Amino acid sequence: MKTLTLTKPDDWHVHVRNGALLRTVIAHTAKQFARAIIMPNLKPPVTTVAQALAYREEILSAVPAETSFEPLMTLYMTASTSVEEVKSAADSPYIHAFKLYPAGATTNSDAGVSDVKQIYRQLETMEKFDIPLLIHGEVVDERCDIFDREKQFVSTHLEAITRDFPGLRVVLEHVTTAEAVYFVESAGPNVAATITPQHLLFNRNAILAGGIRPHFYCLPILKREEHRLALVRAATGGSQKFFLCTDSAPHLTALKENACGCAGCYSAHAALELYAKVFEENGALDKLENFASFNGPDFYRLPRNSEVVTLIKSPWNIPDFYANEDVRITPLLAGETLSWKLQ
Ligand code: DOR
Ligand code: ZN
């Protein structure tokens, strides 16, 4: 049987939510990954070290007993984040980054930043104390076409942030365009990017193939095929600047299959299998370990994991849904078959 053994990967961006939704999804992430960067866009957002430590305890108490998993916490940046909070985050062994959500860009981003200038003092402190900035890179401007919002963010705000804070470590998260790939490739070693499985596997046609398919709707939205190909080249090309982020973002099925459906693809159930599919289809399985297991910890200056995981070539069907307590979620590629299976 064909097998693929890798150093256990980490997920450099995931939404595990809280309460019953957390208890439904965390086992998937903890099985697939040794560690994960936890997104802070809860309601209310995780803006302080104290809140992040409490959230970390909630996550750890939901992880199945036999699994070892380390949540890497992040803080949600706001215009009123104090310089003292930035320093205590940088000092904490549990906090690994700040997340910048442009206000209004995506799920629970209302408390985010409406003008990057408002957080220049915080960014200066982050640069000095060397704590990374994770960016949801889309402009919030209803006159800007939804398919151009990332490109526009890169050429205006990202350009300015990296110019004004040349020593700041920055991750442009879940990149979706050729322009973003090019910017990151051309920037210094302190600027990196992450890539989701859905943006590597699908282009924007998937959202509208024979009808509206809400489980392919996420933000930034899927783009044209030429952009997908640029992402595949970045992920499989061996550059250390690109690494894995599922951006697994569970929403209740009823809130996805809705007249105004929520943005987010749930992919934690099959994350490595989805990446193995795209790397295999592009003749690059030998590059998967760098992308999934090495580039991320190297950028975050954390040790690489020592455990391994094995994928086997053994077709399996993705369930139509996962249900627990009062939660029901629909996974990415529900009802479809994948050829790789995590053992
Ligand atoms: O599709 C998305 N879902 N994009 C985001 O930026 C946020 C996420 C969520 O929290 O649901
Ligand atoms: Zn996300």
Number of Cβ within a 10 Å radius of residue 58 = 15
What's the pLDDT at 107? 85
3-class secondary structure, 45: coil
The residue whose C-alpha atom lies closest to atom 3 belonging to ligand 1 is: 264
Distance CA 33, CA 217 (A): 24
Give the tokens for residue 66: 């036999």
Q: What atom in ligand 1 is closest to the CA of residue 105?
A: 6
This prediction has a pTM of 0.98
**Residue list, ligand 1 pocket, CB within 6 Å:** 15, 41, 106-107, 136, 218-219, 249, 263-264
Average pLDDT of span 250-263: 98
pLDDT confidence band for 36 (50 / 70 / 90): very high
What is the DSSP pairing of strand 191-195 with strand 70-76? unpaired
Question: For 3-342, which CATH superfamily applies?
Answer: Metal-dependent hydrolases (3.20.20.140)
3-class secondary structure, 243: strand
- Residue 107 Cα to ligand 1 midpoint, Å, equals 5
Q: Is 115 exposed, middle or buried (0-12, 13-18, 19+ CB in 10 A)?
A: exposed
Report the catalytic residues: 247
What's the pLDDT at 296? 98
- Residue 40 Cα to ligand 1 midpoint, Å, equals 11
What backbone torsions phi and psi does residue 83 show, to the nearest 5 degrees? Answer: -60, -35
Average pLDDT of span 73-79: 98
Q: What pLDDT, in 10s, does the model give residues 119-161?
A: 999 999 999 999 999 999 999 999 999 999 999 999 999 999 9
User: Are the beta carbons of 267 and 314 closer than 8 angstroms?
Assistant: no
The residue whose C-alpha atom lies closest to atom 2 belonging to ligand 1 is: 264
pLDDT confidence band for 106 (50 / 70 / 90): confident
User: Are the beta carbons of 130 and 170 closer than 8 angstroms?
Assistant: no
With a cut of 90, say whether residue 193 has pLDDT above it: yes
Pocket test for ligand 1, best of 100, 107, 171, 332 (most atoms within 8 A of CB): 107
Average pLDDT of span 281-291: 97
Distance CA 81, CA 5 (A): 43
The residue whose C-alpha atom lies closest to atom 7 belonging to ligand 1 is: 107
Distance CA 194, CA 246 (A): 9
Residues with CB under 5 A from ligand 2 (ion): 247
User: Are the beta carbons of 234 and 193 closer than 8 angstroms?
Assistant: yes
Give the tokens for residue 313: 């070539």
Residue with tokens 């459906």: 261
Question: Which residues touch 196 (CB under 8 Å, ≥6 apart)?
Answer: 174, 218, 245, 246, 247, 265, 267
Q: What pLDDT, in 10s, does the model give residues 41-66?
A: 999 999 999 999 999 999 999 999 99
- Residue 263 Cα to ligand 1 midpoint, Å, equals 5
With a cut of 90, say whether residue 166 has pLDDT above it: yes
